A = this chain, B = another copy of it.
Amino acid sequence: MASLTVIGIDPGSRNTGWGVVREQSGVLELIDCGVIRPPAKAAFSTRLAAIFHALREAISRCQPEEAAIEQAFQGINAATALKLGQARGVACAACASFDLTVSDYPPSAVKKALVGVGGAEKEQVAFMVGRLLNHRTDDWALDTSDALAVAICHLTMRRFSSRIAGA
């Protein structure tokens, strides 16, 4: 593949981070990124709708070809899982509405792809995202760098699998 553009999404009902990264000939380029913060006092379904529309707007503008989402971490309670699940579902639906395939990765795989170890801190991941994209990270929320990290993780995995296929 000469070029591939991927949207990474870190879904959450309060903050949904997203970031679009293009890889061309092994060079990563940040296309755009941001955090969706639906009105906190709105009904939950209204917040989900806001996430859906904002993600669709980002996808429509940045035209990614594939999508990647981090898997939910273990050890959350049922109430949190239900909220997080709904935000994830909305993110998958936004991708489905553009016929983007969605790959998901466990948090440890994302960290390993970025930092080399599965137990890295969020700040370390954010630092590496900035380095790889050659971009300042000061103005990014952690949700943004997490979303960019899963996009970069997906691009790394795709590069490996196309190399294996080509070997």
Contacts and interface: CB of A to CB of B under 8 A. Distances in A.
Judged by DSSP, the binding face of A is helix
Interface residues of A, number: 35
Interface stretch (A83-91, A109-117, A127-135, A143-151): A83-91
Contact of A89 (B77, B90, B95): B90
A102 interface: yes
A45 B85 contact: no
A77 B77 CA distance: 8
A157 interface: no
Contacts of A88: 82, 85-86, 89
A161 to B, nearest CB: 15
A36 interface: no
Interface string A45-89: 110110011000000000000000100100011111111111111
B77 A85 contact: no
A7 interface: no
A94 interface: yes
A79 B72 CA distance: 10
Interface of A: 44-46, 48-49, 52-53, 69, 72, 76-97, 101-104
